[in-house]
Amino acid sequence: MAVRIDGKALAAKVKARVAAEAAGLRRRPGLAVVLVGDDPASKVYVAGKERDCAECGIESFSHRLPAETSQADLLALVRRFNEDDRVDGILVQLPLPEHLNGEAVISTIAPDKDVDCFHPFNVGRMVIGDPVFLPCTPAGVMEMLDAYEIPLRGRRCVVLGRSNIVGKPMAALLTLRDGTVTVCHSRTEDMARYTREADILVSAVGRTGLITGGMVKEGAVVIDVAMNRDEHGRLCGDVDFAAVEPKASHITPVPGGVGPMTRAMLMRNILTAAKCHQAQ
């Protein structure tokens, strides 16, 4: 039976360290959070991030904007935060309403305040192995692997999904740690052929029940990044947990696995930004 990787407990430890270090700075770190529109899931995510900030001694500057906000007005707000010395990190909650250009918003955020690590400058720094920030979800996965002393060098790592937020940076971080990485996606033929070879399998697709017991080899480490809802409305991931847990050596539950670590890594990125700003 697999060891369940407790993301909630590990996230609490990370946030406690962030809070201790933040208390030693000459001013509180600050995060500007922008939510455009009334997407229910986005509201939940933002509320969670605001609670994390309060726990970690980080000041939160929240702005709720109507769904009809123009691109010009949103970019003007981001530029205002770029110039605000109280703000160490800027987070514009995605997805945005369809009429807004998310890439333009991300590119407008000052790289030294890009605590999501979405800006092309920070993505490039990460890929070459000289990061300022790390993208929160992939960084959370790496933290979990390290906390449970799971070796990466030379091991076969399979990442399902090629998004800019999770799949691509996840593959990059595993490669930087000497994993042998394969990325599978919607055009991959016979995906199970690759997953059955994986020592470390990371699934970030968003499809309930995608990973069955027959797709996982004995002793694999299975990291479920997805956050779906099953036919009963309950939170679940991509992995058929009941079928895969007996075969895996380690597995993340959903909820309580990667999700809390994503938010904890955001807090750590804000602290990193605050330290850089206060050292100037």
Give 87's contacts (C-beta < 8 A, 6+ positions apart): 30, 31, 32, 61, 81, 113
Active-site annotation holder among 15, 49, 113, 247: 49
217 in catalytic set:
no
278 in catalytic set:
no
Q: Which amino acid does the sequence have at 216?
A: V
Active-site annotation holder among 88, 116, 199, 240: 116
85 in catalytic set:
no
Active-site annotation holder among 15, 52, 93, 238: 93
Angle in degrees, CA 2, 264, 147, rounded to 5: 40
Q: Which amino acid does the sequence have at 53?
A: C
Residues annotated as catalytic (active site), given as ranges: 49, 93, 116
